[in-house]
């Protein structure tokens, strides 16, 4: 699997060199292709920190064609991880981002395979599912300079620590999880439900409320408290600098995000990107709902919250990126494919689509 990760990244390099801006070396061609969109903001934070705010409009707003965006829309763990690496090793942003992209790509696929063996109790099926993940369209986002691969890594290993009842490790894993993305704090709910499932407090989607409030369960539940505490600390930090506890939420207005009913987020614009993202998201929702009984409650809640949260912001922008994080869906897709005679040929079909979507992203056809 590690070899496959490296081979696929070599494919990215070849595509980046062939269609990107030419520089004096292939590494520069590659990292330049990856350093776009959100990575611009991560670089800005890593090099300059978060800006001081004198008025609310500086955090972010939009009004017709006029808008203001700021770094406050982005959480601090990733840019400050890169900043500290840049300082310690004396390297630039792109080199630091490339190093951590490679590190977490490998860590993520190891964790995903490990969790697959837990879920399927079949090593070959877990391997096949891991291949499906890294070959699937849009999972190239795990290699660009965004937070997707870090987020999925910490999510997967958090589930693994809950499974093995290593709650002391979970206590520390939740800290970067809530400092990576706004939905990090939301993931704690399906993680806790998974914890209750492993304790047999939730069985067949039914909760044994008398056991929830038993002393031993309440004490073990305290290990989940690190995430909410760190999130609150970050909110107080935002307040101290900007005057607003949820500056990250206000900043989303600069990307034309606003609260609305989820179904109103679809097809708000006639451009190809919005149309495709809308249909893609609807297809994922239908697939997840149709197969909900094949998954435990915790996984279904994880999928629901992960899809619902961006839709509540009134936009389907980047939904292909958000959907790529829904690891239970790969479990659902891989199992029927695994029984097909030419199952590995199917993987190469997905790999072709994978590189096609990467090329589209390089050419700014998708966001």
Per residue in 8-62, pLDDT (tens digit) is 999 998 888 787 666 566 777 788 778 888 999 999 999 999 998 888 989 998 8
Residue 320 counted as domain residue: yes
Q: Which three-class secondary structure state does DSSP give residue 54?
A: coil
Residue 66 counted as domain residue: no
Residue 317 confidence (pLDDT): 86
Phi (first) and psi of residue 66, to 5 degrees = -95, 130
- Which pLDDT tens digit goes with each residue over 88-104? 999 999 999 999 999 99
* pLDDT grade for 120, boundaries at 50, 70 and 90: very high
Average pLDDT of span 318-324? 93
Residue 367 counted as domain residue: no
Q: Kindly tell me the sign of the dihedral angle through the C-alpha atoms of 310, 144, 8, 183.
A: negative
Q: What percentage of the chain has pLDDT greater than the value 70?
A: 98
Residue 232, pLDDT above cutoff 70: yes
Q: What angle do CA 125, 291, 181 make, to 5 degrees?
A: 80
**Domain membership of residue 131 as a residue range:** 2-51+76-362
Q: What is the DSSP letter of 207?
A: E
CA distance 1 to 15: 21
Q: What is the DSSP letter of 313?
A: T
Residue 17 confidence (pLDDT): 79
Residue 217 counted as domain residue: yes
CA distances to 70, 172, 197, 246 from 237, in Å: 16, 20, 35, 10
Tokens read off for 5: 């990760």
Residue 249 counted as domain residue: yes
Residue 58 counted as domain residue: no
Residue 318 confidence (pLDDT): 87
Q: How far is CA 27 from the centre of its chain?
A: 25
Question: Left (φ > 0), alpha (ψ -120 to 50) or beta: where does 352 sit?
Answer: alpha
Tokens read off for 262: 């989820």
How many structural domains are present in the chain?
A: 1
Residue 23 confidence (pLDDT): 57
Residue 315 confidence (pLDDT): 86
For 79, half-sphere exposure in the C-beta direction (CA atoms, 13 angstrom radius) is 20
Residue 257 confidence (pLDDT): 87
CA distance 92 to 87: 9
Q: Which pTM does this prediction carry?
A: 0.94
What torsion do the CA atoms of 284, 321, 343, 288 make, to the nearest 10 degrees?
-20
Residue 356, pLDDT above cutoff 70: yes
Residue 227 confidence (pLDDT): 96
Average pLDDT of span 271-280? 90
Residue 330 confidence (pLDDT): 97
Residue 92 counted as domain residue: yes
Q: Where are the beta strands (DSSP E) in the chain?
A: 61-63, 66-68, 202-203, 206-207
Q: What percentage of the chain has pLDDT greater than the value 90?
A: 77
Residue 326, pLDDT above cutoff 90: yes
Residue 360, pLDDT above cutoff 80: yes
Residue 60 counted as domain residue: no
Tokens read off for 139: 């999972």
Residue 149 confidence (pLDDT): 97
Window from 12-21, 80-89, 308-317 with minimum mean pLDDT: 12-21
């Amino acid at each position: 699997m590690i070899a496959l990760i490296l081979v696929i990244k070599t494919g990215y390099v070849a595509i980046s060199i062939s269609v990107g801006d030419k520089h004096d070396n292939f590494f520069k061609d590659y990292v330049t292709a990856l350093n776009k969109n959100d990575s611009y903001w991560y670089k800005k934070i890593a090099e300059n920190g978060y800006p001081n705010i004198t008025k609310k409009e500086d955090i972010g707003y939009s009004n017709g064609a006029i808008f203001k965006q700021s770094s406050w829309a982005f959480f601090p763990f990733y840019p400050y991880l890169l900043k500290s690496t840049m300082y310690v090793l004396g390297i630039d942003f792109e080199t630091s981002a490339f190093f951590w992209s490679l590190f977490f790509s490998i860590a993520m696929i190891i964790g995903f395979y490990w969790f697959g063996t837990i879920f399927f109790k079949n090593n070959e099926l877990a391997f096949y599912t891991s291949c499906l993940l890294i070959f699937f369209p849009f999972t190239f986002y795990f290699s660009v300079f965004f937070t997707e691969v870090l987020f999925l890594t910490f999510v997967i290993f958090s589930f693994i620590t809950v499974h093995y009842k290593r709650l002391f490790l979970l206590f520390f894993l939740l800290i970067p999880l809530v400092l990576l993305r706004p939905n990090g704090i939301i993931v704690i709910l399906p993680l806790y439900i998974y914890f209750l499932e492993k304790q047999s407090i939730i069985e067949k989607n039914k909760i044994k409320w008398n056991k929830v409030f038993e002393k031993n369960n309440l004490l073990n539940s305290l290990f989940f408290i690190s995430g909410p505490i760190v999130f609150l600390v970050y909110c107080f930090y935002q307040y101290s600098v900007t005057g607003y506890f949820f500056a990250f939420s206000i900043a989303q207005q600069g990307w034309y995000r606003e609260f609305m009913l989820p179904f109103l987020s679809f097809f708000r614009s006639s451009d190809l990107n919005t149309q495709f993202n809308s249909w893609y998201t609807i297809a994922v929702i239908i697939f997840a709902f149709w197969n909900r009984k094949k998954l435990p409650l915790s996984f279904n809640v994880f999928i629901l919250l992960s899809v619902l949260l961006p839709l509540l912001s009134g936009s389907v922008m980047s939904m292909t990126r958000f959907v790529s994080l829904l690891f239970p869906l790969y479990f659902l897709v891989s199992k029927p494919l695994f029984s097909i005679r030419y199952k590995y040929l199917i993987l190469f079909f997905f790999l072709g689509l994978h590189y096609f979507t990467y090329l589209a992203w390089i050419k700014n056809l998708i966001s």
